[in-house]
Amino acid sequence: MFKILKYSFYDLMRSRWSYVYFIFYLALGFILLFLNNDVNKAVITLMNIIIVLTPLIGTVFGVMYYYNSKEFTELLLAQPIKRSKIFMGQYLGISISLTLSLVLGLGIPFVAYGLFRSSAIFDFSLLLLVGAFLNFIFVALSFNIALSNENKIKGFGYAILMWLFLAVIYDGVFLTFLVFFNEYPLDKFSLIATMFNPIDLSRILILLKLDISALLGYTGAVFRKFFGTNLGMTLSIFILVLWIIFPVWRMNRKLKKKDF
């Protein structure tokens, strides 16, 4: 598995897109710091971007990599390697290289600006951690979609739709629900509904840490009231881990029966 991981990683590290992604984050980091002139404020702005963008990039990269390397995967499948190892290697290769682009791209400007002397270092680390989680989650989800769809266009469409749903539509539906049923106690419902969306969960996790009540929103407030800050954070990290485990498990199950 580590051999496959190594080669997928090399392959990606040399592709133009990894650099575009890296340079984008680099530029974003510098621009935000330049505009905000304050690490703390930049972290908040960055959160809003990371939470929407990393899932999108993870989804697109995951689907693209799967379909582009299809024939090569077939070559690997004819080698004496276990199926699940090939795909886990590729999966980790993409996720790690994306995470590296994120961490380095944002890390360099923030460190240059004096992150280590600022109090925002933990907030910033948490932000990168959440970004890494979102990478691993969305690459796994997109691999699942790609594995279930032979047709490239369809797979790509479903993957983008999934991102759109989780990043935008979900909140809209959720909000409509809250407005519609506002006469009922909705605490539990909204708690559970948040857990079913990794993007919402990441947002709450960061906001709990940043402790900005104004931005917490309804679910965030419920989350804090229900679990308190520390338990809330631990719980949301735990659920994010589940969000990785479940798609990876399904990927392996699907693989056992798939024809190539």
Partner 1 sequence: MIQIKNLHKRFGKLVVLDSLDLEIKTGGIFAILGPNGSGKTTLIKSILGMVIPNKGDIKFKQKSVLQQWGYRNQINYLPQIANFPANLTVNELIEMVKNLRPKQAGEQELISLFGLEPFLNKKLGNLSGGTKQKVNIVLTFMFDSELIILDEPTTGLDPISLISLKMIIQKEKEKGKTILITTHIMSLVEEIADKIVFLLDGNIYFKGSVSELKEKTGQDDLEHAIAKIISRKDV
- When the beta carbons of 11 and 200 are compared against partner 1, the nearer one is 11
- When the beta carbons of 8 and 202 are compared against partner 1, the nearer one is 8
Which tokens sit at 225? 């009231």
The CA dihedral of 31, 34, 37, 39, to the nearest 10 degrees, is 40
- Rounded Cα distance between 9 and 162, Å, is 25
Type of residue found at 104: L
Closest C-alpha to 201, from 230, 152, 167: 167
Closest C-alpha to 89, from 43, 139, 24: 139
The H-or-E segment that residue 95 falls in is: helix 83-113
- When the beta carbons of 117 and 256 are compared against partner 1, the nearer one is 256
- When the beta carbons of 91 and 110 are compared against partner 1, the nearer one is 91
Residues in Cβ contact with 162 at an 8 Å cutoff, skipping those fewer than 6 apart = 59, 141, 142, 145
Min dist. Cβ of residue 257 to partner 1 (A): 6
Min dist. Cβ of residue 71 to partner 1 (A): 3
Distances, alpha carbon 137 to alpha carbons 29, 91, 119, 188, in Å: 23, 10, 29, 24
Min dist. Cβ of residue 108 to partner 1 (A): 24
Note the residues at the interface with partner 1 (CB under 8 A): 3-4, 7, 10-12, 14-15, 69-72, 74-83, 256-260
Instruction: Kindly report the number of other CB atoms within 10 A of residue 8's CB atom.
Output: 22
- When the beta carbons of 150 and 211 are compared against partner 1, the nearer one is 150
Min dist. Cβ of residue 21 to partner 1 (A): 15
Min dist. Cβ of residue 237 to partner 1 (A): 34
- When the beta carbons of 65 and 124 are compared against partner 1, the nearer one is 65
- Rounded Cα distance between 146 and 25, Å, is 27
- When the beta carbons of 72 and 249 are compared against partner 1, the nearer one is 72
- Rounded Cα distance between 134 and 154, Å, is 23
Min dist. Cβ of residue 65 to partner 1 (A): 10
Min dist. Cβ of residue 160 to partner 1 (A): 23
Which tokens sit at 111? 């460190």
